[in-house]
Structure formats: C-alpha cells, structure tokens
C-alpha cells in the first residue's frame, strides 16, 4: 500500500439504550447549538471490532510526525498504516474509545474546537454530544495528540460554515487562538469538511503543513497535504464494511 487511510470518528456510543429520538444535539462551552448527524456516531462494540482488526492485521497507527515526514521529508511509512482521528473532543471518546485504544497501545489525533471545551467537566448523557473539559481532554495525552479544528469557527450561519463567510483576518486570528492550545502545531481539520480554495492559501500563509477534509480516499504522495482524505467510520458500518474501506 503506497499510502494510508485516515479514519474519522466523532461519537463512540453504547448500543444498549441508544435512542436517536431522545437526542438533542451538541453541548459545548461556546454559545452555539448544532446537531451531529446520526451517521457520524459509531457503536462502541463496532469500534472495538475495528480496532481489534487493525491490531490483529498488523496495522501501524501513525503519528502526525510520520505523516509530515512522508510528505515533506520523503520518508516511507509502514506498509499497513492508518491515521486515527477524532473530531470535536466529545466525552464519549474519553469514556468509550480511549480504553480500547489503550488496550492496543494505539496512537490517535483529536481535532479540538478549543472554544467548545468546558472549564469544568460536565455529566455524560446520551441526550447530548457533550464536549470534554480541558482537563479531561489532556488526561488522554499518553495516546492522543491534539490538532486545530478552530477556536470558535465550527459554526454555521443560515446553513453556511464560518470558513465560507468569515474574512481572512478573522480566520487567522481564530486559528491562532486554537493553535496556542493544541499540542501538535501546523495541522488542521476543516469544520464540516467544507472549505473554499482560498482557505488553502490562508492555511499556507499560517504555515499549516497538513489539513484534513472529509472526502474519502487513500492518501498517497500525489495527494495535496492541505486536502488530505478522511474516511468516516459510520454508524451503519459492519466490520465487513470497515474491512472493505481499507482495501486499495
């Protein structure tokens, strides 16, 4: 395999007691409300199967340094490699994904909306996608590195993401705010996976080395490192769907 897949997760939930009819949306520090699409959830038991498959089949879970070296320093990556990413820093990642990752000594990246992180830990509830507190997030740093997902720009106004409507000056200011918090610098994930070509120029100016979309596909040497592919691991996926996703 002359490249790697980036896997994208959001919420890792218990199958038992799950009821979409009771779901009320995200719960974050920022004064903003939105609803996470149901497809972006992943059942914990399926997540466990997926991680077991990666482990049993000898996959390497990449670090950002390895990906940067692949694109900028002409260094190879292991033959069977994936990059595990989790967006938005929901508490279910700490409760349900982190123990599984720890079991297999897997490495992962969390793309953080820094303005969404609570100052004090909130109770976990199945009715909301509850964001972590800063302390909760950092408690996973033995396995996770943290990347930029904006400070306050993971928002929509009249259906349009902030990246499509905000000025370059405001975007770079927001980017700097989140960058000051995250542990791994010069990486970015586009909120909602939506962006305009102009945003690539702004990210280049900021010094960003890697930026991740939500478009499926294998990342190869030919992939623009500011338009890296990510495969969403969806709620409806069986383990066979997961295996098929990793085929070249």
Query: How many separate domains does the chain show?
Result: 1
Whether the pLDDT of residue 20 is over 80: the answer is: yes
CATH of the domain at 227: 3.20.20.370
61's tokens:
């879970």
Report pTM. 0.98
* pLDDT value of position 203: 98
Mean pLDDT (the chain, rounded): 97
With beta carbons less than 8 A apart as the criterion, state whether 60 and 77 touch.
yes
With beta carbons less than 8 A apart as the criterion, state whether 187 and 209 touch.
yes
pLDDT digits (tens, 9 = 90+) for 177-235: 999 999 999 999 999 999 999 999 999 999 999 999 999 999 999 999 999 999 999 99
The domain containing residue 16 runs over which residues?
A: 5-245
pLDDT digits (tens, 9 = 90+) for 106-158: 999 999 999 999 999 999 999 999 999 999 999 999 999 999 999 999 999 88
160 Cβ partners below 8 Å, 6+ apart? none
pLDDT digits (tens, 9 = 90+) for 47-79: 999 999 999 999 999 999 999 999 999 999 999
């Amino acid at each position: 395999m002359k490249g790697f897949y980036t896997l994208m997760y959001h919420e890792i939930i218990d199958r038992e007691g799950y009821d979409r009819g009771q779901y009320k949306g995200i719960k974050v520090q920022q004064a903003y409300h939105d609803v996470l699409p149901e497809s972006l959830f992943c059942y914990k038991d399926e997540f466990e199967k997926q991680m077991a498959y990666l482990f049993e089949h000898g996959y390497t879970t990449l670090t950002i340094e390895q990906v940067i070296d692949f694109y900028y320093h002409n260094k190879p990556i292991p033959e069977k490699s994936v990059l595990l990413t989790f967006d938005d820093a929901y508490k279910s990642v700490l409760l349900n994904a982190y123990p599984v990752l720890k079991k297999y000594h897997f490495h992962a990246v969390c793309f953080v909306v820094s303005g969404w992180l609570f100052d004090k830990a909130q109770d976990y509830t199945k009715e909301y996608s509850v964001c972590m507190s800063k302390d909760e997030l950092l408690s996973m740093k033995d396995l996770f590195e943290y990347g930029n997902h904006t400070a306050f720009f993971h928002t929509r106004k009249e259906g349009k993401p902030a990246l499509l409507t905000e000025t370059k000056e405001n975007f770079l200011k927001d980017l700097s705010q989140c960058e000051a918090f995250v542990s791994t610098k010069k990486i970015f994930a586009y909120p909602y996976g939506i962006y305009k070509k102009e945003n690539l120029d702004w990210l280049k100016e900021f010094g960003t080395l890697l930026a991740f979309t939500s478009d499926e596909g294998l990342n190869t040497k030919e992939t623009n490192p500011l338009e890296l592919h990510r495969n969403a691991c969806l709620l409806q996926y069986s383990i066979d769907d997961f295996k098929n996703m990793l085929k070249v």
